[in-house]
Structure 1
């Protein structure tokens, strides 16, 4: 990999290069921040090009030090944590028999099936109608599994054979984080080992100091939904993936893990995007990968443009497609160079 800048205590900043369509970029940014009826409320937007922040804008009442919610961007952070555990040899994507009470066909579910959202477990990922929503029930209800997100998700029955059906599920990610905790030797009710692992093996090596991960009442990391951080630190996370899991001279993620994340296994019927292993792919930006969350959270990695874009805010679900198209205008303001990330290694 060519020598390049990595942020140390803080990001380098600079002006966009002469090959960037600055007028198009700035017009799109201005529209995002002023047209609330079409794009919702924007809290933060950062554009990193060639290792330097070239645009950084915050909404009313928000500063560079404001910690903001990830929502499902945390799923992609979970992908990174699992990758580190795979590199350490304590997990494999072929692992099965993942929970002691899965004595039936659920024992065939692999960690890879969970990362690809293809476990076959029944689930309803609805953020509006709490009467049918498993994700609202899991995260917020006072029912039988209150405070035990993995317990709620692991009690679900199969509705399809493992590996045969894509079903986006926040419950799935909280199963993954419980599996990670067990592999690390975490005791039930504790989060000490997992939080230490997150900070020492992922956050601290790439300079993320603001991250606040949340844990449920059993001590399990709520990897489906809850990491708070400043926008610049979400950009650091994206920059790690832009650089194939390498930070400076240190490889944090195993070779091929980034490519594994962005290898499509399904086309989501709701948003028309491809899904890989806890990452989204945008066909309009070939080779890209995006961590996306509820209300329009984006950490968009565009390797061909040597670009990371972070957008944090509050946008109603029906407005997110228009927001995404406007973000794509920003990305297309930068020239494509035809670079590649990752490789074709597999992880067994």
Structure 2
């Protein structure tokens, strides 16, 4: 972790956005013409073919809101999908429990479906391997309705009432730790482990989420979703306005500190952005429930289906939030667009 770039502190005199976002100006050296071209293209009256629909863009620099723009029918108070950005929120919830000594990520995960079978090789799967998407479980992450898809079956089919049980029932396809495979099922197993450690399910776990994370940040409009078994569907469902997603991003950009108080250990934030071993993958490098490198070296991001992004750029002291509806085939275009947005501030 020593090679990780440092995370910037909240500038002196800049209030925290717990109640309202402080407003700032674009820096004098920003490439305003390029920034205008990029945003005008994304928010055209007819969604551009290369990006699809962009519903919101929020840019925070040095702790202040310096630019925000919304599509027709959207605004600061309109709730947007998190989709898999919720995975990074789940990582934060695990961090609280690790800090309290209630979870040890290097120990085998407490999964009853694996404990109940003597000699089950899945007993070797640790929370660390789950958080790094390296469990080895045979789970197919595909969102196309006409394709075989374990994630669709989990969220809307026979697994929807107990997402963690559904996900933990899959056999191993690879030895634990030997193969990276991004999986929403993995996160829901982690989410149930967090509920067990907190001894809280359903409304009780939501109260834990609000007390430890959402309320301290001012994320009062965030709406997590639970299955019938009381597990937070941490793979996919924590709805919130774009400014609330930016608050969550700022917590990580500030190394776990908020209003001068440490909410998450700095080492947990560093763990999130420490690279996972991976075989080559087209989606890019991964940390622990956070993606790495989208907007240059040292950047890390929460990413969700349909083009939802919280991008943190420590070098620029910047948080970028993008919500939208972008077909999967165009997702790399959105990534390049976000990287180009960040580059407008590098002149």
Same topology, TM > 0.5: yes
d(CA) in 1 for partners of 2:34 and 2:293? Answer: 20
Aligned residues: 331
Deviation at 1:266, TM superposition (A): 4.0
d(CA) in 1 for partners of 2:279 and 2:37? Answer: 30
Q: 2:204 aligns with which of 183, 190, 193?
A: 193
Structure 2 gap segments, 5+ residues each: 1-8
Residue 179 (structure 1) aligned with residue 190 (structure 2): no
Aligned structure 1 segments of 4 or more residues deviating by more than 3 angstroms: 1-4, 266-272
Alignment check: 8 A CA contact 2:10 2:62 kept: no
d(CA) in 1 for partners of 2:107 and 2:134? Answer: 14
d(CA) in 2 for partners of 1:58 and 1:98? Answer: 43
d(CA) in 2 for partners of 1:98 and 1:163? Answer: 17
- Tell me the secondary structure at the aligned position of residue 9 of structure 1: coil
d(CA) in 2 for partners of 1:130 and 1:215? Answer: 26
**Could you say which residue in structure 1 is the equivalent of 2:133?**
117
Note closer, same or farther for the CA distance 1:130–1:218 as it changes in structure 2 (3 Å cut). farther
| Deviation digits for residues 309-331 of structure 1 (CA, Å, limit 9, x no counterpart) | 00000000111111211111110
**Could you say which residue in structure 1 is the equivalent of 2:286?**
275
Note closer, same or farther for the CA distance 1:272–1:220 as it changes in structure 2 (3 Å cut). closer
Note closer, same or farther for the CA distance 1:332–1:268 as it changes in structure 2 (3 Å cut). farther
**Could you say which residue in structure 1 is the equivalent of 2:102?**
90
Alignment check: 8 A CA contact 2:113 2:165 kept: no
Structure 1 gap segments, 5+ residues each: 337-348
TM-score by length of 2: 0.92
What pairs with 1:251-330 in structure 2 (closer than 5 Å)? 251-267=262-278, 271-282=282-293, 285-330=296-341
TM-score by length of 1: 0.91
Alignment check: 8 A CA contact 2:312 2:319 kept: yes
**Could you say which residue in structure 1 is the equivalent of 2:56?**
44
d(CA) in 1 for partners of 2:186 and 2:256? Answer: 23
Q: 1:156 aligns with which of 164, 170, 174?
A: 170
- Tell me the secondary structure at the aligned position of residue 69 of structure 2: strand
- Tell me the secondary structure at the aligned position of residue 292 of structure 1: strand
d(CA) in 1 for partners of 2:101 and 2:213? Answer: 16
**Could you say which residue in structure 1 is the equivalent of 2:183?**
169
**Could you say which residue in structure 2 is the equivalent of 1:71?**
83
Deviation at 1:283, TM superposition (A): 5.8
